[in-house]
Amino acid sequence: MTRVHAFGDDALGDLDAVGLAEHLAAGRVSAVEVVDAAIARCEAVGPTLNGLALDTYTRARRQARDPRPGFFSGVPTVVKDNVAVAGLPTQDGCDAFVARPAARDGDFFRMYGATGVVPIGKSQLSEFGFSASAEHPRLGAVRNPWDPTRTAGASSAGSAAFVAAGVVPIAHANDGGGSIRIPAAACGLVGLKPTRNRFAQDKVFRDMPVRIVADGVVTRSVRDTAAYLREAERVYRNLALAPVGDITRPGTKRLKVAVVTTSVGTVASPEVREATLGVARLLEELGHHVVELEQPPVPPSFRDDFLLYWGFLATFLVATGRASHRGTWDPSRLDDLTRGLARHAARRMHRLPGAIARLARSERLSAAFFADHDVVLTPTVATVTPPVGHLDPTLDFATVIDRLLDWVAFTPLQNATGEPAISLPLATTADGLPLGVMIGAGRGREATLLEVAYELEEARPFARIQG
């Protein structure tokens, strides 16, 4: 297994985003130097990992000469290619249309950009974010830097691959079924999906009947994720939620932790189950009260309901494509998974109102669960990271969707409930691949997740791709 990374003796070194921000603020390095280093690293590993949808090198170098103020001023990043950035097209991991450059920044990037980050490009994703592996028949597969024969996870595939490989220390990701947490687990990163409506979001995601998508970042350290949440909250604060605040260390409260290794219709593989139980034992050693439960608090229909809702979103995209992309829309170029999801929903549209109602009710069911438990510990994904080809969208729909739903059996719950969850790289497989475990909490309790994440990171430091 040959790892692919770009860490080296340049201006970026092996600094995380907070460390780099501190170096920049102290004048030890310049924004021009670190942006040039990130571009060089992207050029070195980009062809192998295939994580870049669009480079913005010229623009980044210009911005680096006079970066915006903010805690992350001058820190290079990539932005997932499904949010609007002024002057750039948004292709959504798809080549069925030619996107027009955005007239203005979307609400998310207006917030993210205000933290001072400098994007060197937009990162690749699976088509419209529907799959947990970015394997487009013409755009190619995004590969895992820990083992390029394997997927980087998705949909935030390029962002995760580039952070893991050292191209940038922090990258935008968003999550409508696990798309922050799954690639974080596959690539050995920290990935936190925030509470619904915690931060600014583009209109396309706000307009969903059930707002399953949340924006965040993938990073190599808990402190980077905590710093992002703190800085984003300084730009955009939802007064309906308790603030996250500035979380910099483990908490002192001992928590009641529920452990679940079975989801609706899916049992975690023995290796993944044992990794999760190993973290449960670690939490017990740290003084937390751990109880094992049979499955998360979801109705038996959850898997089918979420699949139907996914399909409804695909149906909407297919139906509105011609109007949205005047003169360039070619539905024959949509990948087979997108078309399969749309067909699946079209045959079951009479069931959609009930499915949406049940998904909306899941928030109340989960709130009752968290009245008795502080956090829930589960696998992030049910099996080890699969090889490229396992979720190839050109395979027949029934095969791909069964494989997809089995692998991502644990993450969609928080998208339905709107609650926060974090994936942490606390285990490795027998052959050295990262394994993520996930911790979820009640609405607005990101601070609790960060505190326990700091504690676990301190007790079991994360593996580094560079050794």
HEC states along 127-174? HHHCCCCCEECCCEECEECCEEEEECCCCCHHHHHHHHCCCCCEEEEE
Bridge partners of 123?
A: 52, 80
Q: What's the angle, vertex CA 88, arms to CA 20 and CA 36, rounded to 5?
A: 30
The distance in angstroms from the start CA to the end CA of the chain is 14
CA nearest 76: which of 185, 172, 173, 3?
172
Bridge partners of 150?
A: 387
In angstroms, rounded to a whole number, what is the distance separating the alpha carbons of residues 455 and 247? 12
Q: Phi-psi category of 87—alpha, beta or left, where left has phi over 0 and alpha has psi -120 to 50?
A: left
324 catalytic? Reply is no
Name the token pair of 331: 């539905």
253 catalytic? Reply is no
Residue tagged active-site, from 123, 156, 179, 221: 179
How many CB atoms sit inside 10 A of residue 101's CB? Answer: 11
Name the token pair of 41: 């690293």
User: Which residue is it, tokens 């903010």?
Assistant: 70
126 catalytic? Reply is no
In angstroms, rounded to a whole number, what is the distance separating the alpha carbons of residues 174 and 288? 30
| Amino acid at site 287 | G
User: Which residue is it, tokens 């994360």?
Assistant: 462
Tell me the catalytic residues: 80, 155, 179
